[in-house]
Amino acid sequence: MRTETMPAATRKSTLVVHDCGLAEYRQVLQLQQQLHQQRRLGEIPNTVLLVEHLPVITLGARRSANKLLVDRETLAQRQIDVVETRRGGGATAHEPGQLVFYPIIYLPDFDRGISEFIHELEVIGAELLERLGLAAGRRKGFVGLWVGERKIASIGARVSKLVTYHGMAININNDLSIFDLLVPCGLEGVEMTSVLKETGTTKAMSRAKQILADLLAEHFG
């Protein structure tokens, strides 16, 4: 897996943004765990990974929200990996065309707790979508971003020793049919959507990543 450092103007302190390209989830999870340890020891600055994943369904720490609608053998036949994680939330899916970002940051640098951090991710996601021409917002009682009653972005974060990892997934151009294989985040009847579905136009992922890198610098730089 090759990572590329993206330019992002910083104002407060150092923030490094790495573009991991298109990568397997397990590889990036291992990288997150390595970076988390290094950040906890003060060996690296606050870091964010940007990535598009090969098809995968991830299961969260809230077991009651991990609901698959097909068996794992069927998923394996369709070359969809299934990975159990320790992040918050329930089952979700990742695939090409979905933009995922994983902040590995030391929360005391920004005087924030986990709730404030989650809200910050929602703000960053909403600002990204606005710059891509789509209005999205929060929905009371639910984490993530919504376009009306349709969910467009999911958050599953974890904090250990005051350092964050895991993060947020935003549907840009991805094939939403993968979500038919699970109950997204354990929310029965929820409809997933994307920028492509809502606007009818395909957005360049390179542009979305650069916008996101700039927003991350504004919020966490």
Q: What is the pLDDT of residues 129-183, one digit of tens each?
A: 999 999 999 998 899 999 999 999 999 999 999 999 999 999 999 999 999 999 9
**How many domains does one find in the chain?**
1
**pLDDT value for 9:** 45
Query: How far is it, in rounded angstroms, from Cα 210 to Cα 90?
Result: 29
**pLDDT value for 12:** 45
Positive or negative, the Cα torsion across 112, 160, 155, 105?
positive
Q: The pTM is what?
A: 0.93
Q: What is the pLDDT of residues 115-127, one digit of tens each?
A: 999 999 999 999 9
Residues forming the active site: 185
Q: What is the pLDDT of residues 189-221, one digit of tens each?
A: 899 999 999 999 999 999 999 999 999 999 998
Q: Which domain CATH number covers 68?
A: 3.30.930.10
For every residue of the chain, DSSP letters joined together read ---EEEP---SSS-EEEEEEEEE-HHHHHHHHHHHHHHHHTTSS-EEEEEEEESSEEEE-S-GGG--BSS-HHHHHHTT-EEEE--SSS--EEE-TTEEEEEEE-BGGGGT--HHHHHHHHHHHHHHHHHHTT---EEETTEEEEEETTEEEEEEEEEEETTEEEEEEEEESS--GGGGGGB-GGG-TTPEE--HHHHHS-PPPHHHHHHHHHHHHHHHH-
Q: Determine the longest span between alpha carbons in the chain, in angstroms.
A: 49
pLDDT surpassing 50 at residue 76: yes
Domain range holding 69? 4-220
Positive or negative, the Cα torsion across 87, 91, 94, 98?
negative
Which residue's structure tokens are 């990543």? 209
pLDDT surpassing 80 at residue 77: yes
